[in-house]
Structure 1
Amino acid sequence: MRCSAYLRPLLGATAILALLLVANASSATYQAGRDLQAAVDGAMPGDTILVGPGVYDKVEITKSITLIGDGARIRPGDRNIGIRIAADDVTVSGFTVEGGSYGIHLVGSNNCTVSNNTVTGAVQWGIGLISSDGNTIRDNVANYNGLGPHRWYGIYLSRSNGNQILDNEASHNGEYGICLFPSCSDNVISGNVAVGNKYGVYAFTDCNDNIIARNRLDNNEIAGIKLIGGCIRNHILENEISENGVVGIFLQTGSGYNIIRGNEIAKNQLFGVQILEGPAGNNTIFENNISGSQRGIVVNTDGNHIYNNRIFDAVIPAEDRGTNQWYAAYPVGGNFWGGHIGTDEMSGPGQNISGPDGFIDLPYVINERARDIYPIMGESVHPIQIVRASVHPARAQIGTQVTVEVALESVNGVAQISARARNLLVSSDPIRPITMYSSGEGVYTGTLQTALMGAGRYAIVLTVKDARGFELVEEMGEVEILPRSGRDFNEALSSAMGR
């Protein structure tokens, strides 16, 4: 309720006091005019301002109000802030902010809600929280911000704690989709999408005890998630992290005591998980699916505990340059290694009791210091598999052409393929190359010329490399070469050369 200026001269002092008390005890909802800042300045704490379709100038909020846009666009100009919030308990929802130095900017503001806004084209960050605690940033789109030479962010937190960053999209920004720097703790970063940035989620310098969960972080130039500079005790949980240009999850420079659990980390170009530099270490990495990278997990710090992960479709599944443990105490066990084949006939902590227990009896060896003593049984998973192979004829006289054919399944395509014939009885006999050609739909065919070969049994060895560098070398069959029978050498040679 408002005390109209036109009524005030008609009221006595007692009536005026009564109306003021009522006004202070309740809130009003009203429609803003063309001058949005004037509407905000004239509002009382607790009021709601509705902003209809149209283009508006920058606005600054310094009191606890609710600002609701319906088709409203804020265009502040390059050097200004679109919506600046400098008060507690403010709600801003439903706006499109285009351009400005910052889009929506909270400074020293607590317990605010910023929801269902679209912020794009800001010179620096789209949505920023500076020394602001306990806020909810939800269901916003912060795309294509910070695209200038300095490369800035979609959503930015600085010295801000206990905030909820939920279900936002922060994609195609200059540097980071969501950035925490420095000293941001106890925040929840959940349900967000960060695609096409340099980094999806980036935390730098003493950002501790945050939860980064259930986000989709794909196709970023370098990493899905990076923690650097002593970021400790964070929980990285159940994220989908795929097809990033270098690494899925990257911990660096003293970022330790973090938990990485239940993430789907797939097809990141070089590394699934990489932990480098600094003494912190002591991260716990478990129950993740890590696949499709050149290297699955690489660590060069100490004290990390890595178990119950599925690591497969990697050229090098694990690389350990420190002192780390790759299994949990029996019967929790170690990791599933997609290319590790073995038997499960024994059980017990020492694998010396008769009977299976779901672990391969022999350890998986990473290097001379690191091994998984309880590798988990499972169907072997290879990036390249031979579906079928044939060598025809299986017995051929010298001078006869032998056709070699193989059908392949390759997760990452076939970059190179070749075959060779190796004499099984005479080791000094030279290797005979076989050029393979694609016949379509994953089938490759080659011809073994036998005119210059000696009699004997030969193994046909196939070599295939995929686009990520994984190499399969496997025997695909044998052929027996028989001595000539009633044919002259020159005739056989001419036949082999198509004359």
Structure 2
Amino acid sequence: MKKLLFIVLVILIFLLIGIFPSALRIRYAKGQETAVIIVPDDYATIQIAINEAHEDMVIFVKAGIYGGDITINKAGLKIFGDGRQSVIQGSVFVEADNILLSGFTIGGGSDTGIFLKNVDSCTISNNNVSNKDVAISIYNEPCMLEQTYGRNSICGNILSNNNIGILSILKMGIPPDIIYGNYIFGNTLVNNNYGILISYDIGIPDPNKVYGGNIIRGNTLLNNSHSFYFNYSLGTLSLSDGESITFGENIIQGNNVTNNGYVIEVYCEEIGILNTYGDISLIFGCNKIFNNYFVDNNILRNACIKYIDIWNLDTLDGKSIITALECWDDGYPSGGNYWSDYTGVDERSGPNQDLPGSDGVGDIPYVIDALNSDKYPLMTSHVDLDSTPPSTITTYNGLWQSTNFTIYLLAIDELSGVKETYYRINNGPVQNLSVHGHPFITTESDNNTLEYWSVDNAGNEEPHRFLTGIKLDKTDPSIAILKRLPEGDVEPDQEVKVLVNVTDLLSGVKDAILSYNINNSLTWINITMTFNMTSGLYEGIIQGQHAGTIVKYKIIAYDNAENYIVEDNNGQYYDYTVVPEFSSSLLTLLMLMILSSIFAIITKKNWNSGKDEVG
């Protein structure tokens, strides 16, 4: 009988005991791609950020020193440094169109600072480059007639103590259908050997085309050996009667050119003329130079053809090769240039300076050399070139954030450069970047506001921009009323429904996850729960299991800011064990029957023992 009682107890213990498994860590912070990449927060290096970015994304590089060369090869990337405090110790190679690179200091021992190769419509702005062989280089070599390169903007950079500040090279065998120049605006070039050097290497120049079209405006050139240097190396020309080629027609406007060696230089390294007949003309120069500020420069203009080779020329009559002429004004009343050594007076006015009254233009031309003069020299040095305000963008991606965060303000101005950026958070006091840094959001809300604007060095103020709906939620969601159905025994292959109330008062509930474990395995199965509109509860189903299976579960809830909470019964987890085929009522009946049998056996044994004693 003792053996029978032991078996019953073992059965009861087996049916009631539970074992609690350990939990496998789940990645609660769900990553999501944004339109802005921040280095080093998102990626440790600039190059990795570029490699991981898609076209047209924004990359912001925090202040710091970043080693190694950089290659930008995805179109449309906008890469901002933090106010020239982001230092690249190497070269930057731009190999895709529509790139913006702004706000860096380029250091290191490399020969070239920023190198653009065969690209179109890129902007290089507000960078510092010094002590290089070439600070910024633009190299275009079209290989097909329909290819077009150029229209790149080099603006607001500070380039000092280099051999060449800005170098633009266009090399072509046969010129493409359209030739574009570049835009060189608002740069400061100091103590360079060559300030701006523009070179054309043309195998077979086409007639009736202009090789030039660069716009050089609003730059400051100080203490350079050579200011504006134009160089041409030409292959073989074959021109017919009435045809001409112009190498020049660049616009040089509103530059401050002070204490330099040479101002304008136009050179043709070599040229070959073959089978040319009739009246033809070759023009080197013909640049439009106006509204500039020329002070204490040594030689104003120099030009020559260094080597010329001629074959099969019918006659010299009607052949015109001009290297000495420039256009030194923009007509009246826009005028010419300011010359610090001009000695004329302003007592007359009008296109011919023969009308009474002053007009800000000198009455007599300023003579440069025997063939060049400024017909309308300006009496004052101020020329307002920049009437366009800066443009500022932000790095905010419109998503909920779960911790205090910075919104970076990135401004660009393609002429005079950005002087300062201002902002107000939630209608608070006006702050500026140079003193207070970038806006820092700390208030929990679904509608923080940011007012921001920039001012350039010409005093143009950007219309104020307003960013609303800035969202910050630092509070975890909450979980309550956790229950399961059925509440009692779970039979084999019976589904179990878990119900839970999840709330988040600010950003709202994003997901409720039912995570469960089978028989202490290391694998947790995650089920996204569905929201029942009627009950207001989240519901999840645990699939039916075999008899004797131990199931443990917990709830994980996320809000839209990726805050999360885990409800796991204080680390003990919620659990149940799947019972055998019979129900608890049958189990009770079985136990009663077993106990009754035991009682009957004992009673019978006692009765027999009493009978024997009576007998």
**TM-score normalized by structure 2?**
0.38
The answer to which structure, 1 or 2, has the higher relative contact order (CA under 8 A, 6+ apart) is 2
Q: Which has the larger radius of gyration?
A: 2
With normalisation by structure 1, the TM-score equals 0.47
